[in-house]
Amino acid sequence: MKEVLKVKLKYTGSDVDDGTMSIEDILPVLQGFAGAYGTVVNTKGLTSEHKLKIVGVEKGSFDILLEVWQWIGNNSAQLQTISTVVGGATFGIASIIIGVIQLKKHVAGQPYTEKIQGVGNTMISVKNSKNVSIEVPVEVFSIFKEGILDGELAKITKPLEKGRIDSAEIRVEHKKEKIKETITVEEKPYFDISTISVTETKEVWLNGAFNSLTKSTNKGFFLLNDGTRASYRFAMKEPEKFYHFFIYNGPVKVRCIAHLDESLKINSLDIYEVQKLQIELFGTGDKK
């Protein structure tokens, strides 16, 4: 038996207005949603197989189709319990993910208090730092409190960047049931987690281009030649002397220390010097 859940992940902003989205931005999003879905499936002890397929792209968004397959044998006990496994299960799992998102937005990274509510103690009332309360199912609160989706939700919000991609919307549909939630770039900090660097290089020269710069923090994103978008900070004594490189459209090379994650992929740079990258058009052979 097969149940199909339609999920739309919609990103808005100047970088996606033309209907395209960079692979570097899309991959973490897909990994994040698939990982979150799989984590909830495992937490609930379901044995269903789920597959993630992209089925369409439209202006400013892309759609994915999630298929959950459940094997049914001839055993009557399996047939009696199949409604709890397949009937609406995919929508329920997606609803838990969205519920955790809503709760993270509600507490906004600040202290909160919780209180058991509802018949049979099935609901939790969560009061945030602004003294506003919402009620969520116990399983949503448990997953939120344990933080087991934090890494996956951080991937979904990773592309959000002011002036580039301003919001992310998750919309889930199953038959007549619909649910959606939007995360804005202003709300992104509620989902950010610390990036762990396991090692770093000695000072090296790397080629690429500046993607963004926040002058108040001297930080931004740097696009490496292999397509990697790494965060950076100007670590030199007078960073303002290098601000003009941000409006320079050509390639640059930076003297930096690169920090690497567990996959030995660059995730951040400490930049100490910037130079324009001179491209040799006619070679450097000796003159005769």
Distance CA 221, CA 160 (A): 12
Q: Give this prediction's pTM.
A: 0.67
Q: Which of 23-27, 49-53, 70-74, 267-271 comes out lowest in average pLDDT?
A: 70-74
221: three-class secondary structure by DSSP: strand
Distance CA 32, CA 215 (A): 30
User: CA of 222: how far to CAs of 62, 157, 219, 236, in Å?
Assistant: 25, 18, 10, 16
Residues in the chain: 288
CATH 3.40.50.300 fits domain 199-276: no
81: which strand partners? none
Statement: residue 63 has pLDDT above 70: no
Quick check: 123 and 135 in contact, CB under 8 A? yes
Mean pLDDT of all residues in 46-55: 68
Radius of gyration over every alpha carbon of the chain, rounded to an integer in angstroms: 23
Distance CA 116, CA 120 (A): 10
Statement: residue 91 has pLDDT above 90: no
User: What does the CA dihedral 208, 264, 239, 244 come to, rounded to 10 degrees?
Assistant: 10
**What is the helix (H) or strand (E) element at residue 279, kind and residue range?**
none
Q: Which of 96-100, 190-194, 208-212, 284-288 comes out lowest in average pLDDT?
A: 284-288
- Pick from 194, 110, 112, 94: which is nearest to 150 by CA? 194
Sheet containing 113-117, strands listed edge to edge, beginning at the edge strand earlier in sequence: 113-117, 123-127, 133-137
Domain boundaries, the chain: 2-190, 199-276
